[in-house]
Structure 1
Amino acid sequence: MTTPDWAELTRFAILLAETAADAILPYFRQNTKVDVKDGPVWDPVTEGDRAGERVIRQLIERHYPEHGILGEEYGVKDARSPFTWVLDPVDGTRAFVSGMPTWATLIGLSHEGRPALGLMNQPVVGDMFYGNPQGAWHSYRGATSAITTRKGVPLSRATLGTTAPELYRSAEDQRRFQSLRHKVQLARYGGDSYFFCLMAAGHIDIAMDCGLQPYDIAPLLPIVTGAGGVAAEWTGGDIARGGNVITAGSQALLDEALAIMAY
């Protein structure tokens, strides 16, 4: 079996992100019309979300027509190869419609059903994080450097990031989150996918969120693991399919956090 050319596929993912940014940014801070998806919670979507995914899908179809696609806005295209792209054009739409530059475009590539390449791009700030089987990197305004997670931090000195406490909607999830929050040194909110990348880059120690979809987390896992981090679905599910996800800079820290959440 031919080994995938991860360098070429990573370059293509970067092109997808840059092209998506050109389609999305005209809608940012423009008081764009907000539609609401069906469901039990307020789930906004804008033309920025849809425009971003459309241009990504068009480029994939042009360059890799045999690849599958799973996108938040336009669903599934079946694969005719071992590869499937996983897309969230605007992760953090609540931040997007609030004018906060903490949303991001997430682009992942699964190989034989497992997340293998992932990218997060925040074009307003100029941050791009990406990872593949060969490592993880941060690109900021033209300068690119390898990233690694912070090691040797006990739970009592850890910084934790999660999108919002109220997103832990069940009593059990809320209990688990609060038990962990009270054990860390610092908890920060509102970062969406940014927290997972900041954890990978060694700025915080734990990133977690509840009730994620595959397109929310599959693009982030190669960044986390490529930087030396670890991840788990704390109810025992398949993390690539989403669910309740916690990531940490080291296995020791993850084990300590999971032990607290188990009580």
Structure 2
Amino acid sequence: MSPDTRHRRPPSDEAVTPMADADLAARLVVDAGSLARRLREDGLDVRHKTSVSDVVTEADNAAEHQITALLATHRPDDGVLGEEGTLVPGRHERRWVVDPVDGTYNFVNGSDYWCSAVAVTGPDDYLLGAVHRPVTGDTFVGGSDVPTRRNGVPVARLAPGDLAAGSLATYLHPPFFADPDLADPFHRVSRGAATIRMLGSGSVDLASVACGVHTVWCQHSCPEWDWLPGRALVEGAGGVCATVEVNGYDWFVAGRPGAVDQAVALLRG
């Protein structure tokens, strides 16, 4: 590639296709996740945010910077919202949402259950997401205009399911069990599943839902970076997503058709 080609301004948003977004999104999460993993292997300084399990490291910040730098080169007109504080106003409706390390507590403690995740939104309900798990090497990409695939291979379309016969991936921060407005709906939906999984990375959970491993995922009060990348994957696999308010809190639900309706009904009581 010549220097003139390498530094040429990227095409305008009218020329950007869903597949071009998918390819870029995959590159963003693979590069960011690989960087974070290397930094973990070199040793990390950990800072607590709101609790002992809510942490941030220099890997989170470095990975977010890497993603935003690539977006500035390849999508200079798009907005960017990052978990670690990046906020870039866009020149139109397209915006990238960035979670450089989702599951940071797992990341810090040596678990493989973490990922890098991004999503891009646009006009007409356009949504595309990508999730990369560096330790396993799995990359998931999909959304409204791109059927979800894992490592380049399309996943099976999600058939209707029954929550009572399947697994529920979810999370409730332990101190919140003392709040009945959160604990009661959590207990109702949990008891409605055959089994529950609380593993600590919403985007990895949602990628697993998109692949048919879990029947439903739900969690309350999700910021966009914890919801949109995985939601895109689930919808791109033929799944259903919903948001429901219960006791003043928003619950985010995704999974197999039919099972999501069951979960929503249980949350509502």
**Normalising TM by the smaller chain, what interval?**
0.7 to 0.9
Of the three residues 145, 161, 168, the one matched with 2:169 is 161
Q: Give the drift of 1:244.
A: 2.2
- Structure 1's 114 and 75: CA in aligned 2 closer, same or farther, altered over 3 A? farther
Q: Distance in 1 between matches of 2:124 and 2:158?
A: 29
Indicate the residue corresponding to 2:47 in structure 1: 35
TM superposition shift of 1:31: 4.3
| Of 61, 68, 75, the match for 1:57 | 68
Distance 1:94 1:155 in 2: 28
**1:32-73 deviation digits (Å, cap 9, x = unpaired):** 110122x47752100110110111111111121111100011
1:190 aligns with 199
Q: Which residue is equivalent to 1:202?
A: 212
Distance (Å, rounded) in 2 between the aligned partners of 1:150 and 1:191: 23
Q: Secondary structure at the match of 1:235?
A: strand
Check conservation: 1:83, 1:110, Cα contact below 8 A. Answer: yes
Which has the greater radius of gyration?
2
Give RMSD over aligned pairs. Answer: 2.3
Structure 2 counterpart of 1:249: 256
Please say if 1:145 is aligned against 2:156.
no
Q: What is the rounded CA distance, in whole Å, between the counterparts of 1:167 and 1:202 in structure 2?
A: 30
**Higher helix content, 1 or 2:** 2
Which residue matches 2:117?
106
TM-score (norm: length of structure 1): 0.88
Shift of 1:162: 1.5
Separation (CA, whole Å) in 2 of partners of 1:202 and 1:81: 35
- For 2:24, give the aligned amino acid: F
Which residue type is aligned with residue 255 of structure 1? Answer: D
Q: Is the Cα contact below 8 Å between 1:36 and 1:42 reproduced in 2?
A: yes
For 1:136, give the aligned amino acid: T
Q: 1:24 aligned to 24, 36, 40, which one?
A: 36
Identity across matched positions, percent: 25
Between the aligned partners of 2:42 and 2:190, the Cα distance in structure 1 is 36
8 Å CA contact retained: 1:212, 1:245:
yes
Separation (CA, whole Å) in 2 of partners of 1:40 and 1:222? 29
Distance in 2 between the 1:247 and 1:44 partners? 26
Matched with 2:241 is: 231
Distance in 2, Cα, partners of 1:157 & 1:256 = 12
Hey, what does 1:239 align to over in structure 2?
Answer: none
Q: Select between 144-153 and 79-88 the one with higher mean Cα deviation.
A: 144-153
What's the offset of the Cα at 1:114? 4.5
Residues 68-120 of structure 1: per-residue CA shift (max 9 Å, x gap)? 10001133110012211100000111111111111110111111385611001
**Aligned with 1:17: secondary structure?**
helix
Give the superposition deviation at 1:254: 1.2
**TM-score (norm. length: structure 2):** 0.86
Tell me the equivalent position of 1:89: 100
Deviation at 1:220, TM superposition (A): 1.5
- Name 1:124's counterpart in structure 2: 135
* Structure 2: unaligned runs, 5 residues or longer: 1-12
Q: Is the 8 A contact 2:141 2:233 kept in 1?
A: yes
Residue 249 of structure 1 and its aligned partner are, at CA, apart by 0.9
Aligned to 2:147: 135
